[in-house]
Every structure is written in structure tokens, then in C-alpha cells.
Chain A
Amino acid sequence: SQQGEEDPQALSIQEGENATMNCSYKTSINNLQWYRQNSGRGLVHLILIRSNEREKHSGRLRVTLDTSKKSSSLLITASRAADTASYFCATDLNRDDKIIFGKGTRLHILP
């Protein structure tokens, strides 16, 4: 069953603009992770945020978590062409060690 769902499914922005992607989930979680996948390649871990954290930063990435709304957002500031990729959130089910990925947001940075 799908736990996390990203929104929007696809996003195109101009280089230099900020990109925001959202993830909503259904059940309580221990933590939430964001991953990036370049076309036809493996996923790369970006950031993990725990259920008791509200915001986390890593370079140009900012992740927020609102457990009351069961949602998270990933903000990429000052986007670059190399940020073109699919972005996935992955959530656990708060009762086992499995993490479940959403369908992802396809981000395209226009030159």
C-alpha cells in the first residue's frame, strides 16, 4: 500500500528559481526521508527528518515536517540544471523497519 504521495507529479521552473515539492502520508511515522533519482539511475539519499523535528537544512535543501497535517515539503533554493531529477519521499509505517516510497515528483529545470 502507498504511504507517501508527492505533489506535484511534475514541476518545471526556470534556473535560479526555488522549487517546492510536497509529500503527504497517511499514518504516523518515526521519520521521513527524501531521495533524488536522475533519469534511469539509482536513488540518492538527500535528507532524513525525524518525527520530533520540524525543519532541517542541508546546503540548498530545506525540509519541513508537519506531523499534524501528515505532510512534508522539500524546498530547493536557487535551482540549477543539475537539480533536474525525480524526487521521492520515503516514510516508515511506525511499526516496522520498512520504508515505503511515493511515486515521486519529476522536476525539470529550464535553462
Chain B
Amino acid sequence: ETGVTQTPRHLVMGMTNKKSLKCEQHLGHNAMYWYKQSAKKPLELMFVYNFKEQTENNSVPSRFSPECPNSSHLFLHLHTLQPEDSALYLCASSQQWADYNEQFFGPGTRLTVL
């Protein structure tokens, strides 16, 4: 919808599973972000990659592991998650990491941890 795609759109996993979320942007941007959106909580920034380098890790538990192989792709590897990790995970990109840059969001992955 905005040049940022996310797969899968929905994911249900058990606490012992390992899964990965994928994000791809077709906008030629250099910064990519992972956000977590839980009910009744502000959007939480998890990770930022700027020119493929991780520039922000917002005290995210190690059961979430990001990977940015190039400036167009971003992954979030999940393992041994908890039920409270159930949320909408949003990927975004921007021209570069700067507070004045508009961020373009993907549609999100709705994650349910059983």
C-alpha cells in the first residue's frame, strides 16, 4: 500500500517455535524500523537500521533478533516468545534515520503467541 510490504500478515506460534517476520521496501530508503503495537499502549520503537547498520536497540529482549542483509530488507527473528509478545508488528522505512523524515509503514504482521 505504501511501498513497504510485510509477510506474513498473520502469524500464530507457540512459545517454543522459531519464526521470522519479513519486511521489504521498494522506496530506495536507507533506514528501516521495527515497531511493536500493543492494545492501549503507544507504538514502541524496537530497532532502527540506518544504511544497514543497527543504530537503535530500544532495550528489546533477546528473544527478538533483527537482521538487515541490505537496505531493502529487514527481518525480525522470533524464538521462545511469551504470550505478552502478541501484538501488531509494524515495519517502516524512511529516506534516512532523522526525526524530520516521513516514515512509510507496512501493513503489519498480527502475531499471536499461544
Contact = CB atoms under 8 A, between A and B. Distances in A.
A and B are interacting partners: yes
Interface in A54-109: 88, 92, 96-104
Nearest to B43: A101
Interface string B71-114: 00000000000000000101010000111101111111010000
Interface string A21-59: 000000000110100000011111100101000000000
A63 B100 CA distance: 16
Given A42-B90, A43-B105, A103 B42 contact: yes
Given A2-B42, A40-B110, A41-B107, A30 B99 contact: yes
Interface residues of B, number: 25
B42 A99 contact: no
Nearest to B56: A98
A5 to B, nearest CB: 9
Given A42-B1, A88-B43, A97 B98 contact: yes
Given A42-B1, A42-B2, A45-B102, A100 B108 contact: no
A103 B99 CA distance: 19
A100 B106 contact: no
A45 B103 contact: yes
B67 to A, nearest CB: 21
B42 A102 contact: yes
A43 B104 CA distance: 7
Contacts of B90: 42-43
A40 B88 contact: yes
Contacts of A44: 2, 105
B102 A33 contact: yes
A67 B38 CA distance: 30
Nearest to B100: A31
Contacts of A43: 43, 90, 92, 103, 105
Contacts of A40: 88, 108, 110
